[in-house]
Amino acid sequence: MTPEDEVRRGGDAARLLRDAIYNEAHTAIRERLVSLLEQDIEPDKRNRVNDDIRALSRVRKYIEQMAMGGKMAAEQIERDRTVRERIEGRLRSFA
């Protein structure tokens, strides 16, 4: 994957994290799962609910990491561009 692809995907992930529908769904699902844990449920079901909460958290963490990766890729592209511009400027001054 190119740095530009990482920037694009990171931007998509960041937009998703800011999306009201996504956040509403994430909150509603998490609250429902937590409310199940507060009930007196059988151990097997409790384990499945715990697994679901962990999976939900992993999905969000993955999206957050994609957003951060895109931000870092954009910063690296900018650093590379700045270095390239400085080098080109110095070469022009010798010409």
pLDDT in tens, the chain (95 residues): 999 999 999 999 999 999 999 999 999 999 999 999 999 999 999 999 999 999 999 999 999 999 999 999 999 988 888 877 878 777 787 76
Give the integer Cα–Cα distance in Å for 68 and 17: 11
Number of domains in the chain: 1
Domain extent, residue 46, equals 3-94
Under a CB-based contact definition with an 8 Å cutoff, are residues 10 and 69 in contact?
yes
- Supply the pTM of this predicted model: 0.82
Q: Which candidate, 83, 81, 30, places its Cα nearest to that of 58? A: 30
